[in-house]
Amino acid sequence: MIFRKYQFADWATAKQAIQVEVTTPEGTELIWNQELVSCVVEIGHLCTQWGTDGVCEVTDPLYAVDIVWQDTALAAYDASIVWPNPVGVNSFGYTLDTEYAQAFCVANPEYCQPPFEI
C-alpha cells in the first residue's frame, strides 16, 4: 500500500475514477473501489489564513484528500499530488507514514528529513 496526499480543483469529478456502483437492498450507491484504494479521507478545503480570533478567514480553493492505494496510484491523479512535510507517525501508522516520508524524500530531496527508525 502507498499513502499519498492530493488537492483537486474538481474532486466531485476526480473521485469517480476510484468509485464503483453497488446495488444494495436500499438501492444503488457509490463506494470506493477496494481493488484500487484501501482508504480515502476527504479532508476538504484547508484554511490558509486564520483570524486573530482563531476562526478561519480564507480557505484554499482546492479540495484536500488523503488516499491509501492498494498497489499503485492512478496516473490520472499525478497532477494533483501535493507533498506537505511529513509530520511523524500519527495518521495511518508507522508503515504508511514511513512509506510517505520515503516518497517525500524522493520527490523533494532538498527538503528530505528521513524518519527515525524505531
Asked whether residue 47 falls in the same domain as residue 65, the answer is yes
pLDDT tens, residue order, the chain (118 aa): 999 999 999 999 999 999 999 998 999 999 999 999 999 999 999 999 999 999 999 999 999 999 999 999 999 999 999 998 877 666 677 888 888 888 988 898 887 766 555 4
Asked whether residue 19 falls in the same domain as residue 57, the answer is yes
Asked whether residue 72 falls in the same domain as residue 41, the answer is yes
For 101, the domain range is: 85-118
Asked whether residue 100 falls in the same domain as residue 44, the answer is no
Structurally, the chain folds into a number of domains equal to 2
Asked whether residue 91 falls in the same domain as residue 58, the answer is no
HEC letters along the chain = CEEEEEEECCHHHHHHHHEEEEEECCEEEEEECCCCEEEEEEEEEEEEEECCCCCEEEEEEEEEEEEEECCCCCHHHHHHEECCCCCCCCCCCHHHHHHHHHHHHHHCHHHCCCCCCC
